[in-house]
């Protein structure tokens, strides 16, 4: 049900409810990037929880291709196209020869043959209509709570409706981590291989020295910047994450975090995402402002800030409802006095009242 409200947000962004939530919680950004905020209502907190389910179940249905980003929108089921990023094409419509026909030469230039074949298999219309969101888990593209439940359950079971998909546990781990949204987005970009490290910039055709700006020894790949560089590995070992000898066989951040999400607790995985974000931030401070901090300084600062974040955003625990005792009559020959009092702080006034009742429960007298 919560995912359904999120579905309404992207389907009917101009509805009164959506505009109201947008004005309060995400006036300057999109629903996808909206953060929970400092004092979220129960409804907003719940909608954001549903967004994670939604993220895993929706995709873009390509019409004219003019509002679907090739690299960041989910439009080709089961494929993460960001790994093939090229800056000269952005929209799916850039991949058309003309409406209804793929530019095969361009597709072959950008993607491996199995991805090209998958794209060619997408039905295109000669009549241009706008791209739209569809609920990918349902064959008709319609959102149903039943399918949302199915997706949510699949995520929990670490498999999706098309069969085992180990990446689902990683995306689920990232989007449900107890960390700020900007930390989740940083982790997602690292896994999608689109963090602008020097090696990635060079691959995009930018003429740049690819050596790491911190250690100046290795090529600055995302994995080097976030795990293997001396500052990064020091930060990870201070926070007592797995020593590098155990994890060096991975060749990308995606593979590394996939191995971590399966054996770390949710809390530890969240802490790891915080560190990755801090390592990236520290690296940028060095590159842009020459202001980097040593790991022994920024690790405790980051983890301390994260603790505060978790306390502020903790789901309030429901207090057990106190069982109100039913009034009982006093024993024969006894009189029962019930009293209550209150104090009004603003006016400084107080009140007291009481009721006397006999063993039949009859009112004998009272005061206030
Ligand atoms: Zn380095």
Which of residues 166, 197, 228 is at a domain's end?
Answer: 166
Query: How far apart are alpha carbons 203 and 67 in whole angstroms?
Result: 26
Quick one: tokens of 223?
A: 């994995």
Residue 326 included in any domain? no
Ligand 1 geometric centre to CA of 285 (Å): 14
Say what the pLDDT of residue 368 is. Answer: 67
pLDDT digits (tens, 9 = 90+) for 282-310: 999 888 887 888 899 999 999 999 999 98
CA neighbor of 272 nearest in space, from 289, 259, 286: 259
Say what the pLDDT of residue 302 is. Answer: 94
Provide mean pLDDT across the span 336-358: 74
Ligand 1 geometric centre to CA of 107 (Å): 35
Say what the pLDDT of residue 274 is. Answer: 95
| 57 compared with 256, residue with greater pLDDT | 256
Which of residues 166, 201, 219 is at a domain's end?
Answer: 166
Minimum mean pLDDT among 58-67, 193-202, 262-271: which range?
58-67
Ligand 1 geometric centre to CA of 182 (Å): 23
Q: Please report which confidence band the pLDDT of residue 324 belongs to, taking 50, 70 and 90 as the band edges.
A: low
Ligand 1 geometric centre to CA of 232 (Å): 8
Q: Are 299 and 242 part of one and the same domain?
A: yes
* 187 within 8 A of 257, measured Cβ to Cβ: yes
* 213 within 8 A of 200, measured Cβ to Cβ: no
Q: Please report which confidence band the pLDDT of residue 319 belongs to, taking 50, 70 and 90 as the band edges.
A: low
Alpha carbons within 13 angstroms on the beta-carbon side of residue 266 total 11
Query: How far apart are alpha carbons 21 and 286 in whole angstroms?
Result: 38
Ligand 1 geometric centre to CA of 214 (Å): 5
Residue entry with tokens 């020959």 = 333
3-class state of residue 154 by DSSP: helix
Say what the pLDDT of residue 78 is. Answer: 73
Query: How far apart are alpha carbons 112 and 256 in whole angstroms?
Result: 24
Residue 72 included in any domain? yes
Domain that holds residue 27: 2-166
CA neighbor of 189 nearest in space, from 179, 200, 178: 200
Query: How far apart are alpha carbons 302 and 176 in whole angstroms?
Result: 19
| 123 compared with 345, residue with greater pLDDT | 123
Ligand 1 geometric centre to CA of 358 (Å): 84
Q: Please report which confidence band the pLDDT of residue 143 belongs to, taking 50, 70 and 90 as the band edges.
A: very low
pLDDT digits (tens, 9 = 90+) for 72-98: 777 887 777 877 888 888 899 999 887
Say what the pLDDT of residue 88 is. Answer: 86
Ligand 1 geometric centre to CA of 184 (Å): 23
* 273 within 8 A of 177, measured Cβ to Cβ: yes
Q: Please report which confidence band the pLDDT of residue 203 belongs to, taking 50, 70 and 90 as the band edges.
A: confident
Crossing angle for the helix pair 42-57 and 145-156, to the nearest 10 degrees: 80
Q: Please report which confidence band the pLDDT of residue 116 belongs to, taking 50, 70 and 90 as the band edges.
A: very high
Ligand 1 geometric centre to CA of 217 (Å): 6
Say what the pLDDT of residue 53 is. Answer: 62
Ligand 1 geometric centre to CA of 190 (Å): 16
Q: Are 31 and 84 part of one and the same domain?
A: yes
> Number of folded domains in the chain?
3
Say what the pLDDT of residue 232 is. Answer: 92
The burial class, CB within 10 Å (0-12 / 13-18 / 19+), for 46 is middle
Residue 290 included in any domain? yes
Say what the pLDDT of residue 158 is. Answer: 43
- Residues 6 or more apart from 79 whose CB is under 8 A from it? 115, 118
Ligand 1 geometric centre to CA of 260 (Å): 22
Ligand 1 geometric centre to CA of 195 (Å): 15
Q: Are 156 and 249 part of one and the same domain?
A: no
Residue 342 included in any domain? yes
Say what the pLDDT of residue 2 is. Answer: 55
Q: Percent of the chain having pLDDT more than 90?
A: 18
Ligand 1 geometric centre to CA of 244 (Å): 15
Ligand 1 geometric centre to CA of 240 (Å): 20
Say what the pLDDT of residue 84 is. Answer: 84
Say what the pLDDT of residue 15 is. Answer: 73
* 128 within 8 A of 64, measured Cβ to Cβ: yes
3-class state of residue 102 by DSSP: strand
Q: Are 271 and 193 part of one and the same domain?
A: yes
Q: Are 126 and 189 part of one and the same domain?
A: no
Ligand 1 geometric centre to CA of 294 (Å): 14
Say what the pLDDT of residue 54 is. Answer: 63
Ligand 1 geometric centre to CA of 233 (Å): 10
Q: Please report which confidence band the pLDDT of residue 159 belongs to, taking 50, 70 and 90 as the band edges.
A: very low
Say what the pLDDT of residue 251 is. Answer: 80
Query: How far apart are alpha carbons 329 and 332 in whole angstroms?
Result: 9
Say what the pLDDT of residue 75 is. Answer: 84
Q: Are 7 and 115 part of one and the same domain?
A: yes
Q: Percent of the chain having pLDDT more than 70?
A: 75
Q: Are 23 and 146 part of one and the same domain?
A: yes
Q: Are 35 and 68 part of one and the same domain?
A: yes
Q: Please report which confidence band the pLDDT of residue 145 belongs to, taking 50, 70 and 90 as the band edges.
A: low
Q: Are 7 and 156 part of one and the same domain?
A: yes
Backbone angles phi, psi at 157, to 5 degrees: -85, 5
Q: Which of 8-17, 105-114, 353-362 has the highest mean pLDDT?
A: 105-114
The number of helices, as runs of H, and strands, as runs of E, in the chain is: 15, 9
Q: Are 145 and 26 part of one and the same domain?
A: yes
Q: Are 27 and 67 part of one and the same domain?
A: yes
Residue 163 host element (H or E): strand 163-164
Ligand 1 geometric centre to CA of 291 (Å): 16
Residue entry with tokens 């990635």 = 200
Q: Please report which confidence band the pLDDT of residue 162 belongs to, taking 50, 70 and 90 as the band edges.
A: very low
Q: What is the largest CA-CA distance in the chain?
A: 101
pLDDT digits (tens, 9 = 90+) for 229-250: 999 989 998 887 755 444 556 7
CA neighbor of 287 nearest in space, from 195, 179, 178: 195
The burial class, CB within 10 Å (0-12 / 13-18 / 19+), for 110 is buried
* 292 within 8 A of 232, measured Cβ to Cβ: no
Mean pLDDT score of the chain: 78
Query: How far apart are alpha carbons 128 and 115 in whole angstroms?
Result: 24
Say what the pLDDT of residue 349 is. Answer: 67
Residue 320 included in any domain? no
Residue 106 included in any domain? yes
Ligand 1 geometric centre to CA of 167 (Å): 27
Question: Pairing mode, if any, of strands 349-357 and 363-367?
Answer: antiparallel
Ligand 1 geometric centre to CA of 213 (Å): 7
Alpha carbons within 13 angstroms on the beta-carbon side of residue 206 total 13
Q: Are 250 and 135 part of one and the same domain?
A: no
Backbone angles phi, psi at 318, to 5 degrees: -75, 125
Residue 325 included in any domain? no
Which of residues 166, 184, 205 is at a domain's end?
Answer: 166
Residue 323 included in any domain? no
């Amino acid at each position: 049900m919560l995912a359904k409200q999120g579905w309404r947000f992207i389907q009917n962004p101009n509805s009164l409810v959506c505009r109201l939530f947008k004005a309060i919680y995400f006036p300057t950004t999109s629903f996808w990037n909206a953060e929970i905020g400092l004092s979220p209502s129960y409804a907003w907190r719940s909608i954001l929880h549903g967004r994670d389910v939604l993220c895993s179940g929706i995709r873009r249905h390509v019409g004219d291709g003019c509002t679907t980003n090739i690299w960041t929108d989910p439009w080709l089921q089961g494929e993460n196209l960001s790994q093939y990023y090229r800056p000269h094409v952005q929209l799916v419509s850039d991949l058309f020869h003309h409406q209804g026909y793929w530019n095969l030469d361009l597709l072959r230039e950008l993607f491996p043959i199995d991805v090209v074949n998958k794209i060619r298999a997408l039905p295109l219309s000669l009549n241009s209509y706008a791209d739209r969101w569809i609920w990918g888990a349902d064959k008709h593209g319609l959102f149903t709570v039943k399918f949302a439940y199915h997706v949510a359950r699949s995520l929990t079971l670490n498999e999706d409706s098309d069969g085992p998909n180990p990446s689902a546990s990683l995306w689920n781990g990232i989007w449900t981590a107890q960390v700020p949204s900007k930390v989740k987005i940083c982790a997602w970009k690292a896994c999608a291989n689109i963090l602008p490290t020097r090696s990635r910039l060079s691959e995009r055709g930018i003429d740049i020295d690819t050596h790491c700006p911190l250690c100046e020894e290795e090529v600055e790949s995302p994995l080097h910047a976030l795990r293997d560089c001396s500052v990064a590995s020091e930060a990870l070992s201070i926070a007592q994450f797995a020593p590098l000898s155990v994890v060096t066989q991975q060749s990308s951040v995606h593979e590394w975090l996939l191995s971590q999400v399966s054996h770390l607790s949710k809390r530890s995985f969240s802490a790891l995402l915080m560190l990755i974000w801090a390592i990236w931030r520290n690296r940028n401070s060095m590159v842009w402002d020459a202001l980097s901090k040593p790991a022994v300084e920024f690790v405790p600062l980051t983890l301390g800030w994260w603790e505060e974040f978790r306390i502020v955003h903790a789901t309030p625990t429901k207090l057990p409802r106190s069982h109100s005792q039913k009034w009982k009559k006093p024993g024969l020959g006894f009189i029962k006095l019930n009293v209550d009092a209150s104090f009004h702080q603003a006016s400084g006034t107080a009140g007291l009242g009481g009721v006397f009742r006999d063993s039949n429960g009859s009112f004998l007298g009272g005061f206030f």
